[in-house]
Amino acid sequence: MAAFADILKQFFYAPDEDIGELFKLPAQAGQMTVFQPEESAAEYLAFVLEQESYAVPIAQIREIVRAVPLTEIPRSPKNLLGVIKIRGEILPVYDVKVKLKLRERAPIVVGLEGEAEELPGSARILIVRDLEGDIGILVDRVLEVIRLRPSEIEPLAPGIGGGDYLLGLGHLGKDLFIVLDVHKALS
Amino acid sequence: MTSSPKGLSDFVAEATEILDALNRDLSILDQRRGEPLDPGLVNGIFRSSHSLKGLAAMFGEQRIAQLAHHTEDLLDRLRLGRLDLTDPVVDALLESFDAFQVVLRETERQEHSPDATQRAQAVCRKLAQFSETAAAPPRDDALDRLDLDASVRGVLTEYEEHRLLENLREGLAIWKVRAVFDLANFDQGLGRLNSKLKSMGEILSTLPSADPGDGTGIAFDIIFGSRTAAEKLKSALAGISASLHPLLLSPEREAAAPGGAATLAVAPLPSRARPGSSVSPPRPAVESRLATRKDPPAEAESSERLLTQTVRVDIGRLDSLMDAVGELLLIKANVARLADQASQSGKPAFGKLWGRELHRESRLLERKLDDLQKGILEVRMVPLGQVFDKLARTVRRIARESGKEVDFVMHGGEVEVDKLIVEALSDPLMHLVRNAVDHGVEGPEERRLLGKKPRGQVSVRATQRGNQVVIEVSDDGRGLDEDRIREVAVRTGIVAAEHAAELSERELQNLIFLPGFSTASRVSEVSGRGVGLDVVKTNVSRLSGLIDTQSERNQGASFTITLPETLAIVRALVVSVSGRVYAVPLNAVSEITSIAESDVKTVEKREVIGLRGKTIPLARLARVFQLPEKARMRHFMLVVGLAHRRLGIAVDELLGQQDVVVKPLGGRLRHTVGVAGATDLGDRKPVLVLDPGAIIEEVVNPERRPELV
Amino acid sequence: MPFKILIVEDSRASRELIVSTVESVSGVEAFTTSTGFDALKLLSRQRFDLIITDINMPGINGLELINFVKKSPAYRETPLFVITTEGREQDRAKGLALGAAEYLIKPFEAQQLEGLLMRYLNIA
């Protein structure tokens, strides 16, 4: 039914916010990759949380959307900020700052006048692939795609903190990127 | 061949079709236990297994191929009369069907669990046992003694040879029917000939050959096995240009050939007791040899999803969808034109005419989107009959196991409901039906003493009421014991003693849906009806449905489930509380009124409100959802629930009514309590849809307050 | 001029699987029928360069089809492949005896079929 599919696509397709040529997803973005040291450089998406720079393997990122208004879920876990709708799909959006000890409490991003916190204009939601259903992570600013070789990632020394969600420190020139395991940062 | 995802889905779709046909035939077979074997039916089941085997082999699905192979063997014996259709045999066939389902579902999800493999193997072993117990005659050279051309033998497949041999062993006569047709339209003639022959025996093979006569025709030699007498065959073929030739079987050295005309072959094997002579009580000898069925616990079976993720769709429905989309494109073009007009500089764009045109397009758009939406939902509809067949089998099985005699009556199987709903209903209906047989219907002796017919009846009836579907499961058994219910309710504190006496019969009966009635001790006290009913109710309310019960002592009980026809579209009331917007399914709301703060009273620290003389509990949605509250003088109250289990939900504002498409919250959000799903009301932000049933539960039974993370 | 291949197979899903393999070879066009009868009709109206048939089919089985086809002068030289189920030695033997060029056992690898096609159609 090729004609039918075309008609549907022509009618319904409406791309989300165009955030420009921020990056190109790699050819087989189908698999979820667990962080595995390899000899060649891997691509990561770099973003900012509270002035710190973080990096997540790009294969885990499905897309990036603007921080549109969220719908709050009553009595949900504190790190669940709310849900958004993307092309008909309802996705939960989480805060990771509390787990990463960047804040005491998760921001209230939805509510009555005065209740909600204003998000920076650069705020974005990263849509991350997950077996239980894709999820969103709220970040302050998205930087760019960087390449890091395993030799450029320094394992964390005890005392720097981390738990199992921090996978190492990436060095690129003078910049420092904290490599994050997104799924662990959600629990 | 390693298949692509499309290949896999093709396989699953075709396998599902075959299993559907198998399901239908097995149901009929199950229903007709004890009746003479219908060869057409057994043949049908046999063909399904055979096709399934070939299909599974092609896709490398070993487990299914093996199961199919064993099922095929068993059916072969049945249709040759070598095995009687006893209860254990039917049960084994039903088990094989269930095993097919389980393995196919796994295949679809590309899983391969050892559990399913073991189950399939266990069923294969069970099926194979019937091959052992049936007396198989020693293999002989009958085929060689048959007057069959070597060239014909050379084109018979192994399978066809096997069929031929079996026919000979069973004493059928073998014929060769030769017919000549025009090359242009041979299929019509051949089709007619085939139907005639099939009604009188088994077509073993069809050999095409060029017509030796004039070369414009095509000849077919049909090898055919039958018990029908020669004269009858000849007269049936009169009028068709076909000639009948017997294929003779030379006698074995020791066997006694009957004297006389050479139209029939060797003496038939000693006839076996025809099925139908051994009825209800299962033969103990066979029972003890077969392993007692300890395997899949009842819950596992009942939890099996009926069908895979595919739906068979009527092409007509898809065509109308195409049409609707086409019209939408036209509207879109018009809107674009109007927009162009508006953006042209120097022209009075927003004139009245322009506005009217835009309005018109907007109305058309709304109508067409509506059509499209309806059309898409229709595609998801499947008949309830699919679930009902399964229920029938369960009823018969449990009745047999408990020694009761129960008739199962179904009505309204053709009523269609969203596929997701049908699947989700499978468990609750199974439960209700099981309860009805286990605890509702009395044994034949007890019934006789009560002056009832010894055969009890369990019935399932589905009817359409507007855009709701009502399903009623009822029985003519003991009914609920109201005194016991009252007692238990008071004892467990669900109802205060003084109020207990005031409850109407109906209200009392509906108490059994409360979790407090589900524990084992309670179950026996209220004659078993409480089993899992709170779970049934939860399942039903998750479908935005309602459940109710009615009973008469010693006459029976009925359970009525009312559902919206489609899960997806719901008419909802849009409300706001603490600045948040929610949608409430209108079918759950029985009343909407305005209340004042001063009207709210408390009873034992719980808030209540008077409603036309009755006092009902009140829940402030803001408080239930732990939202910040602002003091207000007045609220709007939505009354939800049935009979005594009503609740008033207080909200801040009523924003309107709308038809919404509800998407259930999945993945990590699935444990959200009080929320059935999300929808969107136009702007991008999704709006949550409430689950009134869950809120009632939570407020009325505080011990069931959800665990908050 | 694409090569025309006739595929005779009663299972829909199996048919699709074979078609997708056959058409992945460039220059090849697949035609399908689900019964031996339909195959006969089609064969009387069109020329095919190669025929692939399942053996176990109701009505006219694959062996009967091959037998008939090989008797017709038009198809005496046409390569025929048969598809069989595992364990059916006799079927395979009969198939070859009747003139089939190759046999395939379910489940078979796509590459095997592709290789055979290219060889018998002389495609590089």
Q: Which of residues 109-128 of A touch B (CB under 8 A)?
A: 110-113, 115
Q: In this structure, what CATH number is given to the domain that contains residue B156?
A: 3.30.70.1110
Pair B647, B523 in one domain: no
CA B461/CA B36 separation, integer angstroms: 29
Which residue of C lies nearest to B66 if distances are taken between CA atoms?
A: C86
Using CB atoms, list chains with 3+ pairs below 8 Å to chain B: A, C
Interface membership of A26 toward B (CB under 8 Å): no
B568: confidence class by pLDDT, cuts 50, 70, 90: low
Same domain membership, residue B325 and residue B231: no
What tens digit of pLDDT does each residue of A41-52 get?
Answer: 888 899 999 989
DSSP string, B10-29: HHHHHHHHHHHHHHHHHHHH
Domain boundaries, chain C: 3-120
In a domain? residue B682: yes
Query: Is the separation of the CB atoms in B217 and B181 below 8 Å?
Result: yes
d(CA A114, CA A110): 10
CATH code of the domain containing A159: 2.40.50.180
**Contact yes or no for A83 and B686 at CB 8 A:** yes
Q: Which of A127-141, B84-98, B126-140, C98-112 is the least confident region?
A: B126-140
Model confidence at A24, in pLDDT bands (50, 70, 90)? very low
Instruction: Measure C6 CA to nearest chain B CA, in Å.
Output: 18
Residue B680: inside a domain, yes or no? yes
Q: Is residue B260 part of a domain?
A: no
Structural domain count, chain B: 5
Which positions in chain A touch B625 (Cβ < 8 Å)?
74-75
B294-to-B122, B298, B411 alpha-carbon distances in Å: 11, 10, 33
- What is the rounded distance in angstroms from the CA atom of residue C14 to the CA atom of residue B658? 47
CATH assignment of the domain containing B81: 1.20.120.160
Q: Is the pLDDT of residue A26 over 70?
A: no
CB < 8 Å to B630, chain A: 112
Please report residues of B whose CB lies closer than 8 A to that of C100. Answer: none
Q: Is residue A1 part of a domain?
A: no
Chain C residue at shortest CA distance from B156: C63
Residue A11 lies in a domain: no
Q: What is the pLDDT of residue B302?
A: 34
Rounded average pLDDT over B435-452: 87
The span from the CA of A45 to the CA of A55, in Å, is 5
Domain-embedded: residue B257: no
Q: How confident is the model at residue B351 (pLDDT cuts 50, 70, 90)?
A: confident
Calculate how close chain C gets to B264, using CA atoms only, in Å: 25
Tally of domains within chain A: 1
Cβ within 8 Å, pair C14-B58 = yes
pLDDT digits 0-9 by tens, C21-67: 998 888 888 999 988 888 888 887 788 999 999 998 888 899 999 98
Note whether C61 contacts B: Cβ–Cβ < 8 A. yes
**B113 plus B217 within the same structural domain:** no
pLDDT above 70: percentage of residues in chain B: 80
The answer to whether residue A135 scores a pLDDT higher than 50 is yes
Nearest CA in chain B to C65: B208
Q: Which tokens sit at C100?
A: 């089939």
Using DSSP's 3-state secondary structure scheme, residue B173 falls into: strand
Query: Could you give the 3-state DSSP secondary structure of residue B344?
Result: coil
Token pair listed for B358? 């835009």
**Is C7's pLDDT higher than 60?**
yes
Same domain, B615 and B692: yes
Cα dihedral B468/B473/B479/B484 (nearest 10): -60
The pLDDT of residue A185 is above 50: yes
What value of ipTM does the predicted structure carry? 0.86
Residue with the larger pLDDT of the pair B16 and B514: B16
Give A39→chain B minimum CA distance, Å: 32
Q: Give B686→chain A minimum CA distance, Å.
A: 6
At B563, phi and psi to the nearest 5? -130, 150
Written as six digits, the tokens of B19 are 């299993």
Contact criterion met (CB below 8 Å) for B233 and B226: yes
Is A5 within a domain?
A: no
Beta C3-8 vs C50-54: how paired, if at all?
parallel
One-letter amino acid of A76: S
Q: What is the pLDDT of residue B257?
A: 36
Q: How far apart are CA B216 and CA B210, in angstroms?
A: 9
The CATH T-level fold of domain C3-120 is Rossmann fold (3.40.50)
- Which of B332, B578, B672 faces A112 most closely, judged by CB atoms? B578
User: Percentage of residues in chain A with pLDDT exceeding 70?
Assistant: 73
The pLDDT confidence band at residue B681, using thresholds 50, 70 and 90, is: low
Cβ contact (<8 Å) for C106 and B53?
A: no
Supply the range of the domain harboring residue B106: 5-136
Chains B and C touch (3+ CB pairs under 8 A): yes
A vs B: CB pairs below 8 A: 97
Same domain, B477 and B461: yes
Asked if B669 and A92 come within 8 Å (Cβ–Cβ), the reply is yes
Taking residues C65-90, what's their average pLDDT?
A: 86
Same domain, B39 and B120: yes
Q: Residue A144: inside a domain, yes or no?
A: yes
Q: In this predicted model, what pLDDT tens digit does every residue of B480-495 receive, in sequence order?
A: 877 877 887 787 777 7
d(CA C48, CA C74): 10
Q: How many CB atoms lie within 10 A of CB B155?
A: 24
**Which of A22, A126, A130 is CA-nearest to residue A81?**
A126
Residue B476 has a pLDDT of 92
Closest chain B residue to A86, measured at CA: B684
Of C86, C87, C89, C68, the closest CA to residue C78 belongs to C68
Q: What per-residue confidence (pLDDT) applies to B386? A: 81
| Full residue range of the structural domain in which residue A70 is found | 40-186
Average pLDDT rounded to a whole number, residues B157-161: 83
pLDDT of residue B150: 80
Asked if residue A2 is part of any domain, the answer here is: no
Query: In chain A, positions 36-95, which contact chain B (CB-CB < 8 Å)?
Result: 68-78, 80, 83-85, 88, 90, 92
Q: Residue A116: pLDDT above 80? A: no
DSSP B60: T
Is the pLDDT at B566 greater than 80? The verdict is no
The per-residue pLDDT for range B200-251, each reduced to its tens digit, is 888 888 888 766 555 567 888 899 888 888 888 888 888 777 888 888 877 7
CB contacts of A134 in chain B (<8 Å) are: 667
**Mean of all residue pLDDT scores within chain B:** 77
The answer to whether residues B624 and B699 touch, using CB atoms and an 8 Å cutoff, is: yes
How many of the other CB atoms lie within 10 Å of CB of B280?
9
Contact check, Cβ <8 Å, B669/A83: yes
- Of all residues in chain B, the one with the smallest CA distance to C95 is B155
Looking at the domain assignment, is residue B91 inside a domain?
Answer: yes
> Do B549 and B400 have their domain in common?
yes
How confident is residue B162, by pLDDT bands cut at 50, 70 and 90? confident
Residue B643: the pLDDT is: 62
Instruction: Determine, yes or no, domain membership for A128.
Output: yes
Cβ-contact B67, B124 below 8 angstroms: yes
Buried (b) or exposed (e) across B650-672, using 16+ Cβ within 10 A? bbbeeeeebebbbbbbeebbeeb
Mean pLDDT computed over B407-430: 83
Q: How far is B224 from chain C (nearest CA, A)?
A: 11
pTM of the model: 0.48
* Residues C115, C118, C119: CA angle, nearest 5 degrees: 85
Long-range contacts of A160-168 (CB under 8 A, 24+ apart): A161/A101, A165/A99, A165/A100, A167/A35
Range with lowest mean pLDDT among B238-252, B308-322, B586-600? B308-322
CB contact under 8 A, C56 and B13: no
Of B114, B117, B123, B19, the closest CA to residue B61 belongs to B117
Whether C24 has its CB under 8 Å from any CB of chain B: the answer is no
Chain A interface disruption, residue of B111, B668, B679, B699, most A CBs within 10 A: B668
- Taking all residues of chain C, what is their mean pLDDT, rounded to a whole number? 88
pLDDT at position B700 is 78
> What's the CATH code of the domain at B470?
3.30.565.10
**Same domain as B481, residue B348:** no
**CA Rg value for chain B:** 33
Say if residues B433 and B474 touch (Cβ distance below 8 Å): no
pLDDT greater than 80 at residue A11: no
Of B23, B9, B42, nearest to B98 by C-alpha is B23
Query: Could you tell me if B243 and B264 are in contact, meaning their C-beta atoms sit under 8 angstroms apart?
Result: no
Interface probe for C, chosen from B157, B187, B218 (most Cβ of C below 10 Å), is B157
What is residue A33's predicted lDDT score, i.e. its pLDDT? 41
